[in-house]
């Protein structure tokens, strides 16, 4: 009885396995297009032209994960080509670059390609807005002194609009 039920299943599986694959399925083709994931910013702000990364004097290393792992990557800051640290991670490359100091705003341009996976990611970078009370509360929180951080944090309504969310 089992042989009669298994025969149609085996026939279908055999037909699917013998199918000619001139083109990869759409999901495989999509995986070949480079994509980018961002981390390491003091804050990431959504904007009309894409994300903006805020950095501080002590937090200038930006990490960008590029998928797939076998596509060549070039990172520039204006006309300067940056030399990133590259580590293979989870089917991609983790690119770490130090944003040049000096306090000026600019953009990191990450080009992945050439080839079918080529793509470009532009990341606006600017100095993080700060407030001394908020900076103190952040430092306390990083030390694990959460209650002191909450007590030291300024009242959100006393801060400029861009900093209110951070105070909360």
**CA atoms within 13 Å, Cβ hemisphere of 99:** 29
Question: Is residue 23's pLDDT more than 70?
Answer: no
Is residue 20 pLDDT above 90, yes or no?
no
How much is the pTM? 0.63
d(C-alpha 59, C-alpha 42), whole Å: 7
Characterize the bridge pairing of strands 119-127 and 52-55. Answer: parallel
pLDDT at 121 exceeding the cut of 50: yes
Residue 56 CA to residue 54 CA, distance in Å, equals 7
d(CA 168, CA 166): 5
Q: pLDDT of 47-101, one tens digit each? A: 788 888 988 887 889 999 998 888 899 999 999 999 999 999 888 999 999 998 7
pLDDT value of position 135: 82
Q: What average pLDDT is seen over the chain?
A: 78
In whole angstroms, how far apart are CA 80 and each of 44, 83, 109?
Answer: 23, 10, 10
Question: Of 24-38, 77-91, 131-145, which one has max mean pLDDT?
Answer: 77-91
Torsion, Cα of 20, 70, 46, 163 (10° steps) = 150
- Residue 3's SS3 state is helix
Sorted by where each starts, the structural domains of the chain and their CATH numbers stand as: 33-128 (2.60.40.10), 129-168 (no CATH)
In this predicted model, which residue has the larger pLDDT, 128 or 23? 128
Lowest pLDDT segment from 23-32, 56-65, 125-134: 23-32
pLDDT score of 144: 93
Torsion of CA 85, 105, 45, 165, to 10 degrees: 120
């Amino acid at each position: 009885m089992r042989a009669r039920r298994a025969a149609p299943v085996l026939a279908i599986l055999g037909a699917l396995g013998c199918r000619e694959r001139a083109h990869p399925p759409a999901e495989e083709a999509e995986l070949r297009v480079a994509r980018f994931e961002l981390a390491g910013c003091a804050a990431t702000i959504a904007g009309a032209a894409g994300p903006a990364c805020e950095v501080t004097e002590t937090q200038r290393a930006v990490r960008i994960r590029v998928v797939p792992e076998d596509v060549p990557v070039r990172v520039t800051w204006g006309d300067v080509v940056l030399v990133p640290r590259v580590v293979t991670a989870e089917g991609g490359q983790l690119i770490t670059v130090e944003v040049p100091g000096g306090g000026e705003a600019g953009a990191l341009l990450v080009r992945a390609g050439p080839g079918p996976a080529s793509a470009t990611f532009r990341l606006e970078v600017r100095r993080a807005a700060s407030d001394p009370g908020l900076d103190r509360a952040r430092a306390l929180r990083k030390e694990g002194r959460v209650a002191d951080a909450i007590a030291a944090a300024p009242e959100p309504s006393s801060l400029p609009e861009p900093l209110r969310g951070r105070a909360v």
